[in-house]
A and B are shown apart, each in its own frame.
Chain A
Amino acid sequence: MIKDYFKVAIKNIFNRKLRSWLTMIGIFIGIAAVVALISLGSGMQKAITSQFGKIGANRISISPGGAIAGPLSENLGSGILYSSDVEAVRNVKGVEFATGPIAAYVELEFNKEIEYVALMAFDDDTKTLRYMEEMGLAEVEYGRQIKTGATREVILGNRIANDLFDKPIQVGNSIYVDNYKFNVVGIQKKSDSSMFDTVIRISKKTAEDLFERENPSNIFAKVDDNYEPTEVLGKLEKALRKEHNVDEGEEDFTIEIAADVIESFTRILTTVQILVISIAAISIVVGAVGITNTMYTAVLERTGEIGIMKAIGARNSDILTIFLIESGMLGLVGGLIGIFIGVGIGKAVEVIAKAAMNSNILQAHFPWYLILGSLLFSFLLGAIAGTMPAKQASKMNPIDALRYE
């Protein structure tokens, strides 16, 4: 029975080929736009979480002052973290590891060219190195890591080595950091974000000696797996309050669980995504109105047919179902074409973005639920758009309908 309904619906769609096509165009344009945007948005979110995913929920970051201006702006905040704070953090129960790198903007000179870049100085022991590797901060593509105890050794971010200066810098070259000569021992692997590609690394000891800096810009800590990160966070706050001799509510430092920072970042991204997708979804609404219109016309044209069907025993619900299937099919086929086009657009944007921006951040991601969801959505949309005309058809008086033609 339901199979017959489908046959009737498909035959009718084919009968009015041009009109059906135009109606489906209306749907597939909208679906294509939304599918492309969702795929790019979720691809971007995936890239970000995979990049920061390495950081994990057990990482804690401590920054001086209010930390309202983001990283590498340590000059801005009025609070200061001290070397002794790192010790205090290490002594808190539940802290497996802590390190306090120094960050700064420095002048970089190579081949008589001068540029200004960010510098990160971590401890050079193997424990810190392992920690950085876990965070995806320290993968070296060429050369090697800084040797323990070595001075004047520098590792360059990928883009600093390859793009910043007229001539690419190679392992073994000499560069000047704030007028001190350094030997390039390694070049980092290209990461997913430009942030890690545009920093240089030296050992913390060297930074302390040459630049007379000793206070860490941030403290990064890792919580032991057997402890609850939020609990440790509370203990850390207490320890640092004591260390800085301040009361509760007057802290001159900020402690955050890394996962929370990522979450607030993805929240902003989601908001932007929702805004853009809602604007694109307007065209789906317009397409749905097109389906309603086409179906009203179809009902009008087939008034006589409806009369005959009713005369030979079709119930109201049969007529309703036939028309609903028909409009649903219009939506579904439109959606199917839309998904194909959307996948194409998403991939095209990915390729263009990769070539133009030299970054992997825009990746189209098509999970199965996006495809299936869009198909289901477009079928439902078609059916809903066809509800009013189908109801009109089903409620026709057979005698009037037969007399109409």
Chain B
Amino acid sequence: MFFDFFLIACRNISRRRLRSWLTMVGIFIGIAAVFTLVSLGNGFEKALIDEFEKMGTDKLFVQPGKGFFSTPGSLKNVLSDYDLELIKKVKGVETAAGMNYKIARIEFKDISKYSWVIGISTDPEEKKLLFEMQNFKVAKGRELESSDKYKILIGAQIAKGLTFDKEVDLRNTIKIDGIDFKVVGILESMGNPQDDQTMYIPLKTEKEIFGEGENLDYIMAKTSFNADQDRVAADIMKTLRREKGVREGDENFNVQTSAQLIESFNTVLNIVTVALISIAAISIVVGAVGITNTMYTAVLERTGEIGIMKAIGAKNSDILTIFLIESGILGMMGGLIGVLIGVGIGKLVEVIVKTALLIDYITPEITVGLILGSLAFAFVIGAVSGTMPARQASKMHPVNALRSK
């Protein structure tokens, strides 16, 4: 019985081929847009979480300022080497390391420009932590050693020639504020231009050439196995407050756990994706109105047919079901084509972003759940938009319906 309903619905859809196509075009454009945005948004979120997981969830970040996302290095002389030593002694902290940021004039073979220079610790234990957290891997050459002074580690894109228009290799000399540094290592690509075009020098040298003294811009800590992140973070705050003699609420520094960092990134990301998806979803609403319109027309055209079906014993619910299935199929077919196009657009965006902007993070996350969900959603949209016309059809008086033709 139900199967027959399907046959009737399919036959009716294919009978009005052009109109069905146009109706489905309306739906699939919208579904394709939303599908693309959702898959790209999810992909971006996944890439971020992966990045944090590579960094490890047992990490704490101490930085100057009160909130998130202040430009690193813009607040000097809040944290110091002494603070680092204190943090290392906090219970639950396994190890900690500091970093300094600076924008300096870099010169290579007569080409000069401004770029980020980061001072990283060369102490073996601290260095290990930094490499782990920043996901640094040396592709060529070696790491910075504690005996190094004017040695430099460069990002993958600098080596490839994206920074200076010329390739940079091991043993080349790069000038930072006029001082010669020898390239000892090239890092593997980290997938974004910001990191891949950064230069790393020993922290001691950084402090010396930029006159940074005891200052540290950023301290990262690794908590010991099973330690309670939030507790350790609170203890670090307490220790630093005591050392600087400030009361709670008056601090000029903050400690973030990995979980807090992921959460704050996600909140921002979610707001952006939800805003974009809602705007794209408007087109699905428009497509749904198109289905309603098509179905009203279909009911009108088939009034006589409905009369005959009722006359030979079809119940109201049968008529309702037939029309609902018909509009549902319109929605689902539209959804199917929309998903296919959405997958295509998502992949296209990935390729374009990767080649044009050199960013690896934009990869569409296409899951079975997302595909099935979109199809089910499209079917429901179709059925819901067909409800009013289907009810009109089901409530027709058989005699009037027969008489209308």
Contacts and interface: CB of A to CB of B under 8 A. Distances in A.
Contacts of B286: 25-26, 29-30, 283, 286-287, 290
A114 B25 contact: no
Interface in A64-88: 65-70, 72-73, 75-79
A294 B297 CA distance: 9
Given A78-B104, A286-B283, A296 B297 contact: no
A340 to B, nearest CB: 17
Given A18-B296, A289-B25, A279 B33 contact: yes
B102 interface: yes
Contact of A22 (B76, B104, B177, B293): B293
A331 to B, nearest CB: 13
Interface stretch (B39-47, B106-114, B351-359): B106-114
Interface string A279-305: 110110111011011101100000000
A252 B105 contact: yes
Contact of B290 (A26, A70, A76): A26
A70 B71 contact: yes
A224 interface: no
Nearest to A295: B22
B30 interface: yes
B178 to A, nearest CB: 9
A283 B285 contact: yes
A276 B75 contact: no
A116 B289 contact: no
Interface in B23-69: 23, 25-26, 29-30, 33, 37, 65-66
Nearest to B300: A19
Interface in B230-266: 246-247, 249-250, 252
B102 A76 contact: yes
Contacts of A209: none
B134 interface: no
B110 to A, nearest CB: 8
B395 to A, nearest CB: 16
Contacts of A68: 103, 114
A282 B105 contact: no
A296 B105 CA distance: 66
Contact of A297 (B26, B107, B280, B297): B297
A107 interface: yes
B18 interface: yes
B146 interface: no
A25 B290 CA distance: 9
Most-contacted residue by chain B among A22, A30, A279 (CB, 10 A) = A279
B225 interface: no
Contacts of B290: 22, 26, 286, 289-290, 293
A321 interface: no
Contacts of B276: 276, 279
A293 B296 contact: no
A292 B29 CA distance: 15
Nearest to A23: B293
A33 interface: yes
A66 B107 contact: no
B374 to A, nearest CB: 16
Contacts of A70: 71
Contacts of A69: 71, 74, 103
B75 A75 contact: yes
Interface string A9-35: 000000000110011011001100100
B282 interface: yes
Contacts of A65: 103-105, 114
Interface string B94-125: 00000001111101001011110000000000
A294 B289 CA distance: 12
Given A25-B289, A252-B105, A283 B30 contact: yes
A66 B114 contact: yes
A290 B249 CA distance: 59
A39 B327 CA distance: 36
Given A76-B74, A78-B103, A297 B279 contact: no
Given A68-B103, A276-B279, A78 B71 contact: no
B283 A283 contact: yes
Contact of A73 (B19, B29, B30, B71): B71
A294 B293 contact: yes
B2 interface: no
Contacts of B75: 75, 105
A212 interface: no
B292 A22 contact: yes
B293 A290 contact: yes
A250 interface: yes
B193 interface: no
A280 B252 CA distance: 43
Given A33-B279, A292-B22, A66 B103 contact: yes
A364 to B, nearest CB: 16
A29 B103 contact: no
Interface string A169-188: 00000000000000000000
Most-contacted residue by chain A among B18, B73, B110 (CB, 10 A) = B18
Most-contacted residue by chain A among B75, B276, B283, B297 (CB, 10 A) = B283
Given A22-B292, A76-B73, A282 B283 contact: yes
B66 A289 contact: no
Interface in B3-30: 18-19, 22-23, 25-26, 29-30
Given A252-B105, A276-B276, A290-B289, A66 B246 contact: no
Contacts of B177: 78, 252
A79 B75 CA distance: 16
B287 interface: yes
A274 B26 CA distance: 22
B163 to A, nearest CB: 13
A234 interface: no
Interface of B: 18-19, 22-23, 25-26, 29-30, 33, 37, 65-66, 71, 73-76, 101-105, 107, 110, 112-115, 177, 210, 246-247, 249-250, 252, 276, 279-280, 282-283, 285-287, 289-290, 292-294, 296-297
Interface of A: 18-19, 22-23, 25-26, 29-30, 33, 37, 65-70, 72-73, 75-79, 105, 107, 113-114, 116, 249-250, 252, 276, 279-280, 282-283, 285-287, 289-290, 292-294, 296-297
- The 3 nearest A-B residue pairs measured at CB: A66-B114, A283-B283, A114-B250
Given A78-B104, A293-B26, 20 more contacts: A18-B296, A22-B292, A26-B286, A66-B103, A66-B114, A75-B75, A79-B105, A107-B252, A116-B252, A252-B105, A276-B276, A285-B283, A286-B25, A286-B286, A289-B25, A290-B289, A293-B19, A293-B293, A293-B294, A294-B293
